[in-house]
């Protein structure tokens, strides 16, 4: 929808766009924080502080039928080739072997 400006489900061309999808901040009663695209281990310390929140999500919602597309952004600090664990980097153009 972001590039075609047409809903693939109902063909509508009207959308609700949230540039950075926000979640309630767990540390504040009235704050918000961006929903991270990834949570990765930093390897700097042990425990919960050993995690880094990377990126954010942009949402495009069809105003007619509610179909939603999510787009990850702000991934420039994520070292894709070194991704491991739950985050896996896949390059379909890479030579096998």
Residue 16 carries which DSSP code? E
Token reading at 81? 């080739």
Token reading at 74? 């702000």
**pLDDT recorded at residue 38:** 75
Three-state DSSP at 72 gives strand
Helices (H) and strands (E) in the chain, counts: 0, 7
**pLDDT recorded at residue 14:** 97
**pLDDT recorded at residue 13:** 97
7 compared with 41, residue with greater pLDDT = 7
* 4 confidence band (pLDDT: 50, 70, 90): very high
**pLDDT recorded at residue 93:** 85
pLDDT digits (tens, 9 = 90+) for 39-63: 776 666 665 566 777 788 899 999 9
**pLDDT recorded at residue 3:** 93
**pLDDT recorded at residue 48:** 58
């Amino acid at each position: 929808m972001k590039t075609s400006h047409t809903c693939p489900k109902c063909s509508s061309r009207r959308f609700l766009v949230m540039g950075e999808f926000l979640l309630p901040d767990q540390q504040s009663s009235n704050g918000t924080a961006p929903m991270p695209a990834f949570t990765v281990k930093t390897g700097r310390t042990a425990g919960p502080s050993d995690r880094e929140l990377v990126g954010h999500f942009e949402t495009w919602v069809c105003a007619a039928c509610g179909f939603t597309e999510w787009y990850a952004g702000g991934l420039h600090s994520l070292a894709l080739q070194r991704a491991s664990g739950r985050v896996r980097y896949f390059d379909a153009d890479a030579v096998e072997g």
